[in-house]
Each structure stands twice: as structure tokens, then as C-alpha cells.
Amino acid sequence: MDETAILLQAIQDELDRFMDDRRLEFESISSDLAPIVDYTKDMLRGGKRFRALFCYWAWLGYLDDRSIAQSDQALGSIVKICAALEMFHAAALVHDDLIDQSDTRRGKPAIHKKFESLHSQSNWAGAAERFGAAGAILVGDLMLSWSSELFGSALLDAPSREIEAACRDEFGRMRVEVMAGQYLDVLEENAAPGRPVSEAVARANRVMLYKTAKYSIEAPLLIGAAFAGAETGRRHALSSFAIPLGLAFQLRDDVLGVYGDPSVTGKPAGDDLREGKRTVLVGLTREVLEGKVGEMFDQMLTATDIGPDQIAVMQQTIIGTGALKKTETMIIELGNESLFALEDLEIEHEAKSMLKQLANMVMNRES
């Protein structure tokens, strides 16, 4: 097994061990709590682990003494930090799926749909949909708490108080920024029809900066570098690499959310359009559409029951306005900006090479 495969297995083992401990804890309270552990553990399997990988390679890249990476204690701590990031990400996905009313995640029922099915199959009183929403909120909240527990456990063996404080600062900032971005995303879906179309792209850019770019790429890199002991200035030089890559990451996600293959993405075709997402792709489209055509596009975007034919019309409209081509160009330009910035970073050679590979995977992914 190569280093990345060993790391990913170690992270999965850490998450599995953590959830097995939670199972014992919950079983001592009530057997009725078993679905919480089962659904969470299943949610923590799979995924691309981009956040964990960016964190790990930043840590290795900024270590002054590479021999530290061979220490069981240091390796155990960075694996826990990576596991905490994956736990936090999974929590965000649970809440995001509920907010967006997405029925699937990675080709399986979303957490709120699992609780819904549990309610229906058990013939319980009340509304299955309400039970599903409540279950997802609570699971997401638990996972947020557990991510902090894992992170705190990792920092018990931090090399110094200064490193511990720097890691906590970066982790705390990440949590605040992603929630701010999530709210701005929800706000835009509801407020956009009454706001100037000319500002749609700028608003979408702000959402993806905080909801995705900083949280998915920048924060894991900064946390990894902080745990390696990198000083503030040297650490934050990573942002010149992280931010454009994070924006490209979200733009690729936007394209996949409209044109992705369901068998690969695990989501229905055109899911972002069905959910009324106000992405840069949509903003670029609305800048071009005028009068009644623009109004019709908005009506379909805000409707809750559009079918395959309407999705197809919207997909073709986006292509016809040139918005898809512009977005693809932006992905390339942001990717190049990111890779140029990476070359200028003072970071260990192997880590730089691995970060370059990760960047290309982020920009060219199909799911």
C-alpha cells in the first residue's frame, strides 16, 4: 500500500473505532438509539477525503524535522485531526441534504430519508417527514460535537501550547465561516428573485468562497500547517494556492450538479436546478437572459416540482447563453492560478508534488 492508501485506511479505522465506542455508550442508554450510530457510521464510509488529504500533506510539507512523521504519537494525532475534519464534513452534508431536500447522498438515501423510512416501516404515529427532519438535525448536531471531541483529543499531544492554540483558531474559524456561507446560500435561494440580476454572480462568488473554498481547501491546509508548527505568515501563504483552487472546486461541483452523470455523482440529473441553487453557473445564465425568458427561467428555478423536460430546457438554456463555457474557462483559469501559487510556496518537495496531484483531481473530478 502507498502512503495515501495507508493514511486513508488509518482515518477510516479511527472513525470506525470512535463510532464503536459511541455504540457502547448509546446502548447503555437505550437500544432505540442504534439507528443514530448505524446511520452515522455508514455516512462516514467512503467519500474522497479531500479535506483529510490536504491537511495531511500540508502537515508533512511544513514539518521542519521530517523524522517527526515517523513517530507513532505524531501520526496518531494527525490521523485524529484528519478524522475530525471528515466528521465535520459529514455533519455539514447531513444538514445540507436536509436544507436542500436532497433525497440521496453518494447513491444512497440521505440521512433524513433513512429516518423517514424507519418511521414509515415501523408504522409510528405522526408525520414520517417531520421525524426524518428531526433525526437528521440531531445526527448532524451530534457529528459536529463529535468532530470537536476528535479534534480536541488529537491536540492533547500537540507539540506545544502555541501549536495547539493555532490549530484551535483555524478549526474555530472554519466552523464559523462554513455556517456563514451556508446561511448566505439559503438566503440567496430565497431572496435572489427580488435582487438585481447584475449582482447574481458576485453574490454566488461570496457564497462559494465561504461555504466551499475556505472550508474545503484552505482550512484543512492551514490546520495541517499549524500542527506542523508553521508560523502565521508562512502558514497563510497557503491561501494563495487554496482559495482559487477552492473556487474551482465549487465551480466544478456546480457543473456536475447540472450536467453530472447520476450513476457517477450519486445524485439525480440536474439536481441543483431542482433545488433552485443560485450558483455562478446560474448567475452567468441570468445575466444574459432578458424579459419573459429570464422570468420563465426564474420560475422554473423557484418551482418545487419541475420534471425531466423542464430540467432539459434549463440545461440547454445554460449552454445557449454561454454560461457553461464561461464556467469551464473560469475553472481552468483558477486552477492555473492555484498551481502557479503552489510552485512559489516554500514547502517540502514530495508534499508539493502530492498537493499538485490533489489539485488536479479536484478540478477534473466527475463526482
pLDDT of residue 66: 76
Q: How far apart are CA 252 and CA 202, in angstroms?
A: 17
CA distances from 34 to 90, 165, 229 (A): 18, 36, 40
Average pLDDT over residues 61-85: 91
Do the domains at 1-157 and 160-367 have one common CATH topology? yes
CB distance 222 to 81 below 8 Å: no
pLDDT class for 312, splitting at 50, 70, 90?
A: very high
Check whether 1 has a pLDDT greater than 70. Answer: no
Sign of CA dihedral 104, 109, 111, 116: positive
Q: What percent of the chain has pLDDT over 90?
A: 85
Q: Of 185 and 266, which is predicted with more confidence?
A: 185
109: nearest Cα among 93, 124, 85, 123:
93
Average pLDDT over residues 2-7: 90
CB distance 19 to 44 below 8 Å: yes
pLDDT of residue 115: 98
pLDDT class for 68, splitting at 50, 70, 90?
A: confident
Which secondary-structure segment (H or E) carries 104?
A: strand 104-105
Contact residues for 156 (Cβ-Cβ < 8 A; gap 6+): none
Residue-wise pLDDT for 13-44, tens only, equals: 999 999 999 999 999 999 999 999 999 999 99
User: Side-chain half-sphere of 20: how many Cα atoms within 13 Å?
Assistant: 6
CB distance 26 to 37 below 8 Å: yes
Q: How far apart are CA 300 and CA 294, in angstroms?
A: 10
Q: Of 178 and 304, which is predicted with more confidence?
A: 178
- Tell me the pTM: 0.94
Tell me the three cell numbers of residue 48.
474522497
Sign of CA dihedral 67, 73, 76, 82: negative
pLDDT of residue 106: 84
Residue-wise pLDDT for 50-65, tens only, equals: 999 999 999 999 998 8
Q: Where are the domains of the chain?
A: 1-157, 160-367
Domain 160-367 has CATH 1.10.600.10: yes
Chain length of the chain = 367
CB distance 213 to 250 below 8 Å: yes
Residue-wise pLDDT for 325-359, tens only, equals: 999 999 999 999 999 999 999 999 999 999 999 99
Residue-wise pLDDT for 270-295, tens only, equals: 989 998 999 999 999 999 999 999 99
Q: Of 334 and 70, which is predicted with more confidence?
A: 334
Q: By CB neighbour count within 10 A (0-12 exposed, 13-18 middle, 19+ buried), where does 175 fall?
A: middle
Q: What is the CATH topology of the domain spanning 1-157?
A: Farnesyl Diphosphate Synthase (1.10.600)
Tell me the three cell numbers of residue 304.
418545487
Q: Tell me the β-bridge partners of 104.
A: 109
Q: What percent of the chain has pLDDT over 70?
A: 100
Check whether 69 has a pLDDT greater than 80. Answer: no
Tell me the three cell numbers of residue 49.
477525503
35: nearest Cα among 127, 109, 145:
109
Residue-wise pLDDT for 86-124, tens only, equals: 999 999 999 999 999 889 888 899 999 999 999 999 999
* Secondary structure class of 246 (helix, strand, coil): helix
Residue-wise pLDDT for 125-135, tens only, equals: 999 999 999 99
* Secondary structure class of 89 (helix, strand, coil): helix
